[in-house]
Amino acid sequence: MMKSIISIIILVASIIGIVIYAAPRYQHARELQTNVAELEDAFNKATQLRAIREELENRYNAFSDGDLDILSKMLPSYVDNVRLATIDINDLATQYGLILKDVNTVEPEIVTKNTEDANNPIGKMNIEFTLTGSYDNFVSFLNHLERSARIIDVQSVSFDVNQYELKKTSVDRYDYKVIISTYWLRNE
Protein backbone atom coordinates (compact mmCIF):
# COMPACT_ATOMS: atom_id res chain seq x y z
CA MET A 1 0.00 0.00 0.00
CA MET A 2 2.85 2.29 0.80
CA LYS A 3 4.28 1.64 -2.63
CA SER A 4 0.96 2.63 -4.22
CA ILE A 5 0.81 5.86 -2.23
CA ILE A 6 4.39 6.68 -3.16
CA SER A 7 3.60 5.88 -6.81
CA ILE A 8 0.53 8.13 -6.70
CA ILE A 9 2.52 10.92 -5.02
CA ILE A 10 5.26 10.60 -7.64
CA LEU A 11 2.65 10.57 -10.41
CA VAL A 12 0.89 13.66 -9.01
CA ALA A 13 4.24 15.40 -8.48
CA SER A 14 5.20 14.57 -12.07
CA ILE A 15 1.93 15.98 -13.39
CA ILE A 16 2.32 19.12 -11.27
CA GLY A 17 5.94 19.45 -12.43
CA ILE A 18 4.89 19.11 -16.04
CA VAL A 19 2.12 21.66 -15.62
CA ILE A 20 4.37 24.12 -13.78
CA TYR A 21 7.42 23.67 -16.00
CA ALA A 22 6.11 22.56 -19.39
CA ALA A 23 2.90 24.62 -19.69
CA PRO A 24 4.68 28.01 -19.88
CA ARG A 25 7.21 26.53 -22.32
CA TYR A 26 4.38 25.15 -24.42
CA GLN A 27 2.63 28.54 -24.38
CA HIS A 28 5.89 30.23 -25.40
CA ALA A 29 6.29 27.72 -28.24
CA ARG A 30 2.76 28.50 -29.47
CA GLU A 31 3.52 32.24 -29.40
CA LEU A 32 6.68 31.59 -31.40
CA GLN A 33 4.68 29.58 -33.93
CA THR A 34 2.24 32.49 -34.26
CA ASN A 35 5.15 34.90 -34.73
CA VAL A 36 6.67 32.60 -37.35
CA ALA A 37 3.35 32.52 -39.21
CA GLU A 38 3.09 36.33 -39.08
CA LEU A 39 6.69 36.72 -40.26
CA GLU A 40 6.13 34.26 -43.11
CA ASP A 41 3.03 36.22 -44.12
CA ALA A 42 4.97 39.49 -44.02
CA PHE A 43 7.78 37.89 -46.04
CA ASN A 44 5.30 36.66 -48.65
CA LYS A 45 3.74 40.12 -48.89
CA ALA A 46 7.19 41.70 -49.20
CA THR A 47 8.02 39.26 -51.99
CA GLN A 48 4.78 40.15 -53.77
CA LEU A 49 5.46 43.87 -53.35
CA ARG A 50 8.99 43.42 -54.69
CA ALA A 51 7.58 41.64 -57.76
CA ILE A 52 5.01 44.41 -58.26
CA ARG A 53 7.70 47.07 -57.86
CA GLU A 54 9.90 45.31 -60.43
CA GLU A 55 6.97 45.04 -62.84
CA LEU A 56 6.16 48.75 -62.43
CA GLU A 57 9.83 49.63 -62.81
CA ASN A 58 9.95 47.64 -66.06
CA ARG A 59 6.82 49.42 -67.29
CA TYR A 60 8.31 52.79 -66.36
CA ASN A 61 11.57 51.94 -68.15
CA ALA A 62 9.56 50.96 -71.24
CA PHE A 63 8.37 54.58 -71.63
CA SER A 64 10.42 56.70 -73.99
CA ASP A 65 12.02 59.89 -72.69
CA GLY A 66 9.59 61.90 -74.82
CA ASP A 67 6.60 60.18 -73.23
CA LEU A 68 8.02 60.79 -69.76
CA ASP A 69 8.47 64.48 -70.59
CA ILE A 70 4.84 64.69 -71.70
CA LEU A 71 3.66 62.96 -68.51
CA SER A 72 5.81 65.29 -66.42
CA LYS A 73 4.34 68.28 -68.21
CA MET A 74 0.78 67.00 -67.77
CA LEU A 75 1.08 66.52 -64.04
CA PRO A 76 4.34 67.88 -62.62
CA SER A 77 5.58 66.74 -59.24
CA TYR A 78 6.37 70.19 -57.88
CA VAL A 79 4.64 73.45 -57.03
CA ASP A 80 6.80 75.46 -59.45
CA ASN A 81 4.14 74.35 -61.89
CA VAL A 82 2.58 77.83 -61.55
CA ARG A 83 5.68 79.52 -62.95
CA LEU A 84 5.95 76.99 -65.78
CA ALA A 85 2.25 77.34 -66.62
CA THR A 86 2.67 81.13 -66.72
CA ILE A 87 5.64 80.80 -69.08
CA ASP A 88 3.66 78.41 -71.32
CA ILE A 89 0.67 80.77 -71.33
CA ASN A 90 2.90 83.75 -72.14
CA ASP A 91 4.55 81.87 -75.03
CA LEU A 92 1.15 80.78 -76.31
CA ALA A 93 -0.28 84.30 -75.99
CA THR A 94 2.68 85.73 -77.91
CA GLN A 95 2.20 83.09 -80.61
CA TYR A 96 -1.38 84.30 -81.12
CA GLY A 97 -0.62 88.03 -80.91
CA LEU A 98 -2.10 88.49 -77.43
CA ILE A 99 -0.57 90.51 -74.60
CA LEU A 100 -0.39 88.80 -71.20
CA LYS A 101 -0.66 90.98 -68.09
CA ASP A 102 -1.82 90.97 -64.47
CA VAL A 103 -0.91 87.37 -63.63
CA ASN A 104 -1.96 86.36 -60.09
CA THR A 105 -2.34 83.12 -58.22
CA VAL A 106 -5.67 82.63 -56.51
CA GLU A 107 -6.17 80.11 -53.72
CA PRO A 108 -9.00 77.74 -54.70
CA GLU A 109 -12.07 77.88 -52.52
CA ILE A 110 -12.36 74.86 -50.28
CA VAL A 111 -15.96 74.20 -49.33
CA THR A 112 -15.20 71.45 -46.86
CA LYS A 113 -11.85 70.76 -45.34
CA ASN A 114 -11.73 67.09 -44.48
CA THR A 115 -9.13 64.35 -44.38
CA GLU A 116 -9.76 63.46 -48.02
CA ASP A 117 -8.50 66.91 -49.08
CA ALA A 118 -5.39 66.56 -46.91
CA ASN A 119 -4.67 63.08 -48.26
CA ASN A 120 -5.28 64.00 -51.90
CA PRO A 121 -2.02 63.44 -53.81
CA ILE A 122 -2.94 66.09 -56.37
CA GLY A 123 -2.49 69.79 -55.60
CA LYS A 124 -4.51 72.51 -57.31
CA MET A 125 -3.70 76.17 -57.90
CA ASN A 126 -5.79 78.78 -59.68
CA ILE A 127 -4.07 81.33 -61.90
CA GLU A 128 -5.80 84.55 -62.91
CA PHE A 129 -4.51 86.61 -65.83
CA THR A 130 -5.61 89.17 -68.40
CA LEU A 131 -5.01 88.96 -72.14
CA THR A 132 -5.42 91.80 -74.61
CA GLY A 133 -6.06 91.15 -78.29
CA SER A 134 -8.60 90.32 -80.95
CA TYR A 135 -11.46 87.91 -80.44
CA ASP A 136 -10.30 85.52 -83.18
CA ASN A 137 -6.80 85.35 -81.68
CA PHE A 138 -8.29 84.73 -78.23
CA VAL A 139 -10.44 81.86 -79.53
CA SER A 140 -7.38 80.34 -81.24
CA PHE A 141 -5.46 80.74 -77.97
CA LEU A 142 -8.18 78.90 -76.02
CA ASN A 143 -8.31 76.10 -78.62
CA HIS A 144 -4.55 75.63 -78.37
CA LEU A 145 -4.70 75.77 -74.55
CA GLU A 146 -7.39 73.09 -74.63
CA ARG A 147 -5.13 70.75 -76.63
CA SER A 148 -1.95 71.40 -74.63
CA ALA A 149 -0.27 68.59 -72.70
CA ARG A 150 -0.57 70.41 -69.37
CA ILE A 151 -3.74 69.64 -67.42
CA ILE A 152 -5.56 72.96 -67.18
CA ASP A 153 -9.21 73.67 -66.41
CA VAL A 154 -10.62 77.02 -67.50
CA GLN A 155 -12.72 78.21 -64.55
CA SER A 156 -14.01 81.50 -65.95
CA VAL A 157 -13.62 83.92 -68.85
CA SER A 158 -14.85 87.49 -68.93
CA PHE A 159 -14.05 90.29 -71.34
CA ASP A 160 -14.14 94.04 -71.49
CA VAL A 161 -14.00 96.38 -74.46
CA ASN A 162 -11.04 98.72 -74.24
CA GLN A 163 -12.87 101.97 -75.16
CA TYR A 164 -9.66 103.97 -75.44
CA GLU A 165 -8.15 101.51 -77.93
CA LEU A 166 -11.45 101.25 -79.82
CA LYS A 167 -11.56 105.03 -80.38
CA LYS A 168 -7.87 105.16 -81.26
CA THR A 169 -7.91 102.35 -83.84
CA SER A 170 -10.52 100.38 -85.70
CA VAL A 171 -8.97 97.08 -84.59
CA ASP A 172 -11.11 94.99 -82.27
CA ARG A 173 -9.04 94.71 -79.10
CA TYR A 174 -10.58 93.34 -75.98
CA ASP A 175 -9.33 92.60 -72.49
CA TYR A 176 -10.02 88.98 -71.51
CA LYS A 177 -9.85 88.06 -67.84
CA VAL A 178 -9.25 84.31 -67.48
CA ILE A 179 -9.07 82.10 -64.40
CA ILE A 180 -7.60 78.63 -64.87
CA SER A 181 -6.79 75.75 -62.53
CA THR A 182 -3.55 73.86 -62.86
CA TYR A 183 -2.50 70.72 -61.00
CA TRP A 184 0.62 68.98 -59.67
CA LEU A 185 1.52 65.84 -57.75
CA ARG A 186 2.28 66.44 -54.09
CA ASN A 187 5.46 64.85 -52.78
CA GLU A 188 4.59 63.60 -49.33
Helix (H, G, I), strand (E, B) or coil at 181: strand
pLDDT mean over 25-33: 85
DSSP state letters, 79-102: TTHHHHHHHHHHHHHHHTT-EEEE
Give the amino acid at 103. V
Name which residue leads in pLDDT, 123 or 51: 51
CATH 3.40.50.300 corresponds to the domain 75-185: no
Beta bridge partners of 20: none
Is pLDDT above 90 for 50?
yes
What was the pLDDT predicted at 70? 75
Name which residue leads in pLDDT, 4 or 83: 4
Sign of CA dihedral 48, 51, 57, 59: negative
Give the amino acid at 155. Q
pLDDT, tens only, 131-183: 998 889 999 999 998 887 777 888 899 988 766 655 666 667 888 999 988 87
Q: What is the spatial distance between Cα 62 and Cα 68, in angstroms, rounded to a whole number?
A: 10
Q: How confident is the model at residue 19 (pLDDT cuts 50, 70, 90)?
A: confident
154 — alpha (psi -120 to 50), left (phi > 0) or beta? beta
What was the pLDDT predicted at 113? 45
What was the pLDDT predicted at 45? 92
Beta bridge partners of 177: 130, 158
Length, in residues, of the chain: 188
Helix (H, G, I), strand (E, B) or coil at 180: strand
* pTM score of the predicted model: 0.55
Mean pLDDT comparison of 64-68, 69-73, 160-164, highest-scoring range: 64-68
Domain ranges of the chain: 1-62, 75-185
pLDDT, tens only, 74-116: 666 665 666 777 778 888 899 999 999 888 887 655 444 444 5
